C-alpha cells in the first residue's frame, strides 16, 4: 500500500507538470482566438503526450516493456479520462460563464475529476508489469 501511495504521489507530480503544460497551452490558444473546445482538446493532447512518456519511464518504470500495447491501453484509459475531463469542463463553464478565469476554473475541475481514472487505469492496466 505504501508503494502504491508513493506511485500516486509521483503520478500527481508528473500530472501537476502536465496540468501546467495543459494550462499554458490552453491559455495561449484561447488568447490567440481559438474557441474554448478546440483550445481544450489541443492542450489535452500536448499534455497527455508528456504524461505518457514521463509516467512510462519514471513513475511506473515500464520502459522495458513493449510500448505498442502500452500506447493502445493508454489511449483507451485516457480517452475515457479526457471525455470525463472535457464534459465536466464544459458543464462547469456553462454554469460559471465565459471569462478567462471561469474557463480556467472549469478546465481545472475537469482535470481533477479525471485524475482517479487515469491513475488507476495506468497503474493496474496500462503499465502493469506482466
Q: What is the pLDDT of residues 64-103, one digit of tens each?
A: 889 999 999 999 999 999 899 999 999 999 999 878 899 9
Q: Report the alpha-carbon distance of residue 27 to residue 69 in Å, rounded.
A: 33
Which run of H or E residues covers position 16? helix 2-31
Q: Is the pTM of this model over 0.85?
A: no
Q: Report the alpha-carbon distance of residue 116 to residue 83 in Å, rounded.
A: 13
pLDDT at 65: 85
CA distances from residue 21 to 38, 63, 70 in whole angstroms, order as listed: 16, 22, 22
What is the average pLDDT across 34-56?
A: 93
Q: What is the domain range of residue 70?
A: 2-126
Q: Give the chain's mean pLDDT.
A: 92
pLDDT at 97: 87
pLDDT at 33: 95
Q: Report the alpha-carbon distance of residue 37 to residue 83 in Å, rounded.
A: 12
pLDDT at 19: 86
Q: How many domains does the chain have?
A: 1
pLDDT of 1 strictly over 80 = no
CA distances from residue 75 to 19, 53, 59, 80, 123 in whole angstroms, order as listed: 18, 13, 18, 8, 14
Amino acid at each position: 500500500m505504501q508503494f502504491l501511495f508513493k506511485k500516486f504521489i509521483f503520478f500527481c507530480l508528473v500530472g501537476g507538470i502536465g496540468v501546467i503544460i495543459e494550462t499554458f497551452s490552453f491559455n495561449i490558444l484561447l488568447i490567440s482566438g481559438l474557441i474554448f473546445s478546440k483550445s481544450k482538446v489541443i492542450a489535452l493532447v500536448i499534455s497527455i503526450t508528456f504524461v505518457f512518456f514521463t509516467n512510462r519511464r519514471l513513475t511506473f518504470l515500464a520502459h522495458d516493456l513493449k510500448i505498442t500495447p502500452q500506447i493502445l491501453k493508454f489511449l483507451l484509459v485516457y480517452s475515457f479520462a479526457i471525455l470525463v475531463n472535457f464534459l465536466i469542463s464544459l458543464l462547469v463553464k456553462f454554469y460559471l460563464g465565459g471569462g478567462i478565469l471561469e474557463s480556467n476554473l472549469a478546465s481545472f475541475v475537469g482535470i481533477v475529476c479525471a485524475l482517479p481514472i487515469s491513475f488507476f487505469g495506468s497503474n493496474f492496466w496500462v503499465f502493469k508489469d506482466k
